[in-house]
Amino acid sequence: MPSRLLERFIVLATLLASSLGSLPTAVRAQANEQFIPLLVHRTGPYAPGGTPWANGKQDYIKLINAQGGINGVRMAYEECETGYATDKGVACYERLKGKGASLFDPQSTGLALALTDLARSDGIALLTLGYGPAASQDGGVFKWSFPLMGSYWTAADILVQAIAKREGGPERLRGRKITLLYHDSPFGKEPIALLQARARMLGFTLALIPVPAPGTEQKTAWQQVRQSRPDYVLLWGWGGMNPAALKEAQAVGFARERMYGVWWAGTEPDVRGAGDGAKGYHALALNGAGLQVKVVQDILRVVHDQGLGTGPRAEVGSVLYLRGVVIQMLTVEAIRRAQEHFGKGQVMTSAQVRWGLENLNLDQKRLDALGFGGVMRPIATSCHDHMGSSWARIQTWDGRKWVMGGDWYQADERVLAPLVKEAADRYASEKKITRPTAADCPAG
């Protein structure tokens, strides 16, 4: 058999074994395989966001398995559909946790809150990249929770910084009016505490307008916006709420250039339907996107070119697809880090994976080698800091595509740290959690 044909045959055989075809269902874990439970919401009003997120995670598993696994350890996985409903998500967690679950990515702030105590009791880590309770950044209290790369407090702080820069400096925000239009759920309410603190510090007026789930009916909310005439609107939406907000903004004549969205309101499905109607709208970018990204090229070549992609080829490289890839990469690298400490080529327990998450150190050289150059900033966690990085950029919709801003913004720890400590201390008191000693968790 010619060498290129033989190579193609090996890749196909490897991927077929790991994916059971292209159906997004399950690959049963064997004794020598690392089990990755996948909570997803492919159905319901939030499916347009949940589906590419889930597909990116699966495709990265297939890529790593095709490359030989994690030091030879292949990954198995099983999806469980939550429909973005907390009760279904808890049921999925209970069903999958006993199968040797490495960790869980709840894909919902409400579910992350519901699982925080359960996961702590069960000894299984939660990876909540860019969502979940902001206080879980404090690893001294939230031992099993990892809001990697950012929380809604870091997101809100960065948005305030971006608006302040636009205005000519933080002092220019005094007397300004900022409205938070938010999904009326734990997700939407999470940034309020940070924004209230910033409003007190900088002297701007903060108005709060909740939008009932699923968020597609907003006429009353935008009538309030039209009447109050804020200088800026912060959009804290998910799924169909985001395009609905942009259409209503256009209807009442509110300039999209003065709208800034959280990173879950900065995806292609949020703006494509509005087209030029969304032109000028800004949103946070937690990760980069595009077909030029090396890991995207690897996935196209190794997975999709073999006919084994989880979803449509056209979504590969999109914002949420690549966010799913990033999440799965961090999962893989946490397992790899744990193997370096506990034994290469071995299946890691959930406790060992937690150690790996707490000891991540991905510098730029490592990110480049993994194919994530330009996608994210370096990340380094510790027993004190379970976030590891708090950087983001601002992107702007030009009517056809997202245009990435050149500036990276970092959340101000001088603002965040007191809020995080206060919330974490309160949780520790309620749950009778004792912080680790200096010997257990050295400063630094």
- Would residue 425 count as lying in a domain? no
User: How high is the pLDDT of residue 309?
Assistant: 97
Tell me, yes or no, whether 28 and 126 share the same domain.
yes
3 state SS for 2-37:
CHHHHHHHHHHHHHHHHHCCCCCCEECCCCCCEEEE
Helix (H) or strand (E) run with residue 239 in it: none
Tell me, yes or no, whether 95 and 179 share the same domain.
no
- Would residue 422 count as lying in a domain? no
Q: What are the strands of the beta sheet with 232-236, ordered from one edge?
A: 205-211, 177-183, 232-236, 259-261, 282-285, 391-397, 402-410
Tell me, yes or no, whether 215 and 331 share the same domain.
no
- Would residue 434 count as lying in a domain? no
User: How high is the pLDDT of residue 437?
Assistant: 86
- 3-state SS assignment for residue 241: helix
Burial class (CB in 10 A: 0-12, 13-18, 19+), 130: buried
How much helix, strand and coil, in percent to the nearest 5, is found in the chain?
A: 50, 15, 35
Sequence letter at residue 379:
I
Give the model's confidence band at 220: pLDDT under 50 very low, under 70 low, under 90 confident, else very high.
very high
Q: Which of 208, 216, 214, 149 is nearest to 182 (CA)?
A: 208
Tell me, yes or no, whether 129 and 18 share the same domain.
yes
Tell me, yes or no, whether 335 and 399 share the same domain.
no
pLDDT in tens, 82-92: 999 999 999 99
Q: How many domains does the chain have?
A: 2
Question: Pairing between strand 402-410 and 361-362?
Answer: unpaired
Q: What is the dihedral of CA 82, 40, 128, 148, to 10 degrees?
A: 180
Asked if pLDDT for residue 281 goes beyond 90, the answer is yes
Give the model's confidence band at 443: pLDDT under 50 very low, under 70 low, under 90 confident, else very high.
low
Tell me, yes or no, whether 142 and 126 share the same domain.
yes
Tell me, yes or no, whether 280 and 293 share the same domain.
no
- Sorted by sequence, the CB contacts under 8 Å of residue 92 that are 6+ apart come out as 37, 39, 80, 81, 82
pLDDT in tens, 313-329: 999 999 999 999 999 99
Cα(189)–Cα(200) distance, rounded to whole angstroms? 18
Between CA 356 and CA 410, with CA 385 as vertex, the angle to 5 degrees is 120
- Respond yes or no on whether the N-terminal peptide bond of residue 214 is cis (omega within 30° of 0): yes
Tell me, yes or no, whether 98 and 65 share the same domain.
yes
- Look up the CATH number of the domain holding residue 62: 3.40.50.2300
- Would residue 443 count as lying in a domain? no
User: How high is the pLDDT of residue 76?
Assistant: 98
Beta carbons of 72 and 23 less than 8 angstroms apart: no
pLDDT in tens, 33-70: 999 999 999 999 999 999 999 999 999 999 999 999 99
Cα(165)–Cα(145) distance, rounded to whole angstroms? 33
- Strand spans (E) along 169-302: 177-183, 205-211, 232-236, 259-261, 282-285
What percent of the chain stands above pLDDT 70?
A: 93
pLDDT in tens, 359-410: 999 999 999 999 999 999 999 999 999 999 999 999 999 999 999 999 999 9
Give the model's confidence band at 176: pLDDT under 50 very low, under 70 low, under 90 confident, else very high.
very high
- Would residue 418 count as lying in a domain? no
Residue 228 neighbours by CB distance under 10 Å:
12
Long-range pairs of 407-415 with CB within 8 A, sequence gap ≥ 24: 407/165, 408/377, 409/158, 409/161, 409/162, 410/158, 411/150, 411/153, 411/154, 411/155, 411/157, 411/158, 412/157, 412/161, 415/157, 415/194, 415/197, 415/198, 415/201
The residue-averaged pLDDT of 200-206 equals 98
User: How high is the pLDDT of residue 29?
Assistant: 59
User: How high is the pLDDT of residue 212?
Assistant: 97
Based on C-alpha coordinates, what's the Rg of the chain? 21
Cα(293)–Cα(328) distance, rounded to whole angstroms? 16
For residue 126, the Cα-to-chain-centroid distance in whole angstroms is 12
- Would residue 243 count as lying in a domain? yes
Asked if pLDDT for residue 438 goes beyond 90, the answer is no
Asked if pLDDT for residue 3 goes beyond 50, the answer is no
- Sorted by sequence, the CB contacts under 8 Å of residue 269 that are 6+ apart come out as 48, 49, 242, 243, 320
- Would residue 337 count as lying in a domain? yes
User: How high is the pLDDT of residue 183?
Assistant: 97
Tell me, yes or no, whether 357 and 374 share the same domain.
yes
Burial class (CB in 10 A: 0-12, 13-18, 19+), 165: middle
Tell me, yes or no, whether 263 and 396 share the same domain.
yes
Asked if pLDDT for residue 11 goes beyond 80, the answer is no
Tell me, yes or no, whether 158 and 46 share the same domain.
no
The residue-averaged pLDDT of 230-243 equals 97
- 3-state SS assignment for residue 316: coil
Tell me, yes or no, whether 293 and 280 share the same domain.
no
pLDDT in tens, 107-162: 999 999 999 999 999 999 999 999 999 999 999 999 999 999 999 999 999 999 99
**pTM of the full structure:** 0.92
Domain span at residue 97 reads 3-150+289-380
- Would residue 92 count as lying in a domain? yes
Domain boundary among 325, 360, 380: 380
User: How high is the pLDDT of residue 23?
Assistant: 43
User: How high is the pLDDT of residue 28?
Assistant: 56
Asked if pLDDT for residue 1 goes beyond 50, the answer is no
